[in-house]
């Protein structure tokens, strides 16, 4: 039962909550017994903080560690708050150094300091080395526990190094090859070593090494690791000396978090960082209220535009009927362009240098969409009201779609150029901007065509 559908998870949650309510810990232990760590993680995502701690204490030592390692750092932090100091220290000590660094970013400073002091000297040094790199860098996400070999060694000697580190190395499938001063000169896979002549030189088997600088942004390194389909990537310092390994599981986790963050911000909210059902309501409110206030202030621009053209609306009241249509169409067009370009930025398909090319493409795309929608608007409004009203609607749709697509496509690139998260220039901001400018265009075209 390594994968579970939502109904199965819901059934288990109901059973666990009933047994907790009845304080039948024996029955609860029997319910948990056949579940693997992969089965338990979705349950922990949905249990309350107190019940999560109770269930965790009923797990065996090894299974508890497997579950803990599989949880997001935010949930790990929450879980530690419900455990005794001895349990917290044991779990913290069992983690890999890079996972410790991730967790420490979520813990209160006092607890983080206490846990670091309680580590054995060797583990404390390894963890401190990871924490020494800037927050957000791939150095914070690398593991300092790895296997390496030297360019002058044979296959048999290299395999002996692998066997000696099997218990403590986080990854052994990709092995960096170093020269005499610890510079990375290549990599060799464990598969190639196992299939080669034991007397052969590692130099004959090694391939080009794709490395990342320890200070490089973690998302950039993760994207490259995934694009190249690497199981692990050597992390080097400014002199190309090996300092750690960045594994594909950490790369996937980083990309998932970044995508969740971008999706949330494009929708006008901050990412929750925790599963929805495990997030307190006050945290959900905090994630939304600031953006709503900012957008409410931005929406006053639309009100101001309407007040300026109030006399025009009084003379031709039919114009008011089309305001929601034009605002909605312009906002949707800008949102589509922004979402497409933000995604292209994340994938590395475009960059700030492509601003003019993106602007050209979005202008043409917006104009074509405007011609299609404007033509339809002209036909419908012209038949129902008058050809002049139809012309106003048709020309406005053409203009609004063109402007909205251009603005929506360029804003993420401008954000990246000034080193701001493109998702901050999210769809609600674009909608607010397009609403105001679209109304100005609408009433100016109406005044011109209708001679108001």
Number of neighbours of residue 356 by Cβ within 10 angstroms: 10
Ramachandran area for residue 365 (φ above 0: left; ψ -120 to 50: alpha; else beta): alpha
245 in Cβ contact with 233 (< 8 Å): yes
Residue 2: the pLDDT is: 43
- Enclosing H/E stretch for 439: helix 427-449
At 338, list the tokens. Answer: 């922004």
Residue with tokens 């391939």: 207
Tokens of 68: 């803990």
For residue 373, what pLDDT band results from cuts at 50, 70 and 90? very high
CA distance 318 to 313: 8
For the ranges 103-117, 229-243, 316-330, 411-425, the one whose mean pLDDT is highest: 229-243
At residue 338, does pLDDT exceed 80? yes
* pLDDT of amino acid 167: 84
Q: Looking at the predicted structure, is the pLDDT value of residue 183 above 80?
A: yes
What is the C-alpha to C-alpha distance for residues 142 and 181, in angstroms, rounded to an integer?
21
Q: Cβ atoms within 10 A of the Cβ of 346, count?
A: 18
Contacts for 264 with CB less than 8 Å, ≥ 6 apart: 270, 271, 272, 287, 423
């Amino acid at each position: 039962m390594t994968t579970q559908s939502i109904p199965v998870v819901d059934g288990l949650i109901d059973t666990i909550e009933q047994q907790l309510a009845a304080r039948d810990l024996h029955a609860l232990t029997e319910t948990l017994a056949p579940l693997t760590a992969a089965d338990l993680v979705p349950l922990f995502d949905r249990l309350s903080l107190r019940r999560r701690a109770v269930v965790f204490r009923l797990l065996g030592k090894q299974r508890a560690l497997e579950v803990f390692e599989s949880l997001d750092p935010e949930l790990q932090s929450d879980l530690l708050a419900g455990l005794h100091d001895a349990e917290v220290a044991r779990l913290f000590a069992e983690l890999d150094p890079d996972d410790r660094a991730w967790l420490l970013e979520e813990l209160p400073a006092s607890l983080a300091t206490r846990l670091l002091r309680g580590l054995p000297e060797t583990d404390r040094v390894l963890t401190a080395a990871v924490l020494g790199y800037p927050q957000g860098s791939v150095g914070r996400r690398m593991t300092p526990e790895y296997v390496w070999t030297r360019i002058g060694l044979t296959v048999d000697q290299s395999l002996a190094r692998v066997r000696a580190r099997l218990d403590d190395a986080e990854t052994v499938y990709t092995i960096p090859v170093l020269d005499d001063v610890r510079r990375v000169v290549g990599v060799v896979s464990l598969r190639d070593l196992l299939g080669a002549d034991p007397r052969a030189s590692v130099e004959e088997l090694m391939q080009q090494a794709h490395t990342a600088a320890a200070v490089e942004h973690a998302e950039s390194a993760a994207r490259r690791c995934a694009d190249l389909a690497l199981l692990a990537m050597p992390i080097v310092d400014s002199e190309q000396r090996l300092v750690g390994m960045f594994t594909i599981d950490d790369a996937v986790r980083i990309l998932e978090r970044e995508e969740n963050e971008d999706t949330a911000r494009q929708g006008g909210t901050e990412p929750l960082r925790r599963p929805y059902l495990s997030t307190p309501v006050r945290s959900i409110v905090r994630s939304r209220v600031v953006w709503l206030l900012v957008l409410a202030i931005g929406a006053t621009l639309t009100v101001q535009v309407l007040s300026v053209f109030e006399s025009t609306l009084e003379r031709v009241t039919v114009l008011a009927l089309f305001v929601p249509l034009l605002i909605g169409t312009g906002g949707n067009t800008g949102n589509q362009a922004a979402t497409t370009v933000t995604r292209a930025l994340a994938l590395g398909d475009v960059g700030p240098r492509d601003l003019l090319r993106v602007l050209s493409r979005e202008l043409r795309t917006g104009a074509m969409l405007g011609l299609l929608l404007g033509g339809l608007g002209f036909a419908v409004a012209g038949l129902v009201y008058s050809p002049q009203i139809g012309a106003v609607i048709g020309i406005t749709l053409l203009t609004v779609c063109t402007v909205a697509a251009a603005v929506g496509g360029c804003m993420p690139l401008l954000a990246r150029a000034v080193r701001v998260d493109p998702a901050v220039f999210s769809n609600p901001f674009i909608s607010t901007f397009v609403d105001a400018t679209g109304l100005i265009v609408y009433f100016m075209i109406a005044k011109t065509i209708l001679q108001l």
